[in-house]
Amino acid sequence: MTKSALITGITGQDGSYLADLLLEKGYRVFGLRRRTSVPILENIQHIEKEIEFIDGDLMDLSSLIHAVKIANPDEVYNLGAQSFVGTSWDQPILTGQVTALSVTNMLEAIRIVKPSARYYQASSSEMFGKVVETPQKESTPFYPRSPYGVAKVYGHWMTVNYRESYNMYACSGILFNHESPRRGIEFVTRKITDAVARIKLGLQNELRLGNLDALRDWGYAKDYVECMWLMLQQDKPDDYVIATGETHSVREFCEIAFGHVGLDYQKYVVTDPKFFRAAEVDLLLGDPSKAINKLGWTPQKTTFEQLVHLMVDSDLGKVKRISN
């Protein structure tokens, strides 16, 4: 029988890759779509006609109840959020409403309409924040460092709580940073690869960044969505860290990205205090052993260097098309 899935955040990087994967697997894919004056469909243009959109908003429980009734999903992937850490200091309350409280809205909609649906919650390595151990694993205590991180901790524990209170199949994927050509331009990796392309093509002179010494465990988003799906195919629901097990600095990312087009990053990157955060997460390094052993997942199908290269190549293509 054809399975159906409901995805929130379907127009984002992860939602779009997950929709690709589920369509390939023969799922009926429903996407929750928030009304915006200008539709943002770039990431899903190629599959727009195959997705069944349902209008709704994560902050509006009645629209989520309606969405679950319409989709009658076997699986729900809750990927929608205010996901930019930097903005969470400017809009802490909105971040709490969208990134934290709406998780309860989604869980409630499922509990009321279809409690047998399997639920995936997009948790984040930002929950580890000022890390208390390295590498970080499922049992590592949380110490979030931003309103975003705090909101994600709430969503994570609500997911665990609904699993334990109502016996729902609810899983939380603690994903470390994951990037791709579909990443939003405000995140540091895309900001760098877009700038590299513009500088190489003579359209920009410099790149202004914040903390170059921050260390992140960066993987490829396309590899990570497979893990979301795997989590919902097990006998029992559980929580998993998804990471590569390698960490690299923002500086290293710059070095490889500029180097890929024959440029020296030191000539173009300028440090600007405007991009420093009120409280920084200095180091993230995940231990994906549980996902490897229990889900049979393979991290680093795409290596760090390959990831940087494919993002630079994609941005070179995009910038050339726009500027011609």
* Least spacing, CB of residue 202 vs ligand G4F, in Å: 22
Rule CB under 6 A: say whether 85 interacts with ligand G4F. Answer: yes
Residue with token string 């709430």: 154
Whether 80 contacts 103, CB under 8 Å: no
Whether 134 contacts 267, CB under 8 Å: no
Active site includes 88?
no
Rule CB under 6 A: say whether 124 interacts with ligand G4F. Answer: yes
CA 283 to chain centre: 18
Residue of 13, 6, 8 lying closest to 190 (CA atoms): 13
Residue 222 corresponds to which tokens in the numbers above?
Answer: 């396309």
The correct pick among 19, 61, 79, 214 for binding ligand G4F (CB under 6 A) is 214
Residues 280-309 that bind ligand G4F (CB under 6 A): 280-281, 284
Active site includes 124?
yes
| Euclidean distance between CA atoms 248 and 214, whole angstroms | 8
Residue with token string 């199949």: 169
Query: What's the Cα-to-Cα distance from 95 to each of 39, 63, 129, 272, 300, rounded to whole Å?
Result: 21, 19, 17, 25, 31
Ligand-binding site membership of 224 (annotated): no
Residues 156-185: x where in contact with ligand G4F by CB under 6 A, - otherwise, as a string: --------------------xx--------
Could you say which of 148, 162, 220, 240 is catalytic? Answer: 148
The correct pick among 14, 74, 126, 315 for binding ligand G4F (CB under 6 A) is 126
* Least spacing, CB of residue 62 vs ligand G4F, in Å: 27
Q: Which helix (H) or strand (E) holds 7?
A: strand 4-8
Binding residue positions for NADP(+) = 119
Q: Using CB under 6 A, list all residues that contact ligand G4F.
A: 83, 85-86, 124-126, 176-177, 186-189, 191, 209-211, 214, 216, 250, 275, 277, 280-281, 284
Catalytic residues: 124, 126, 148
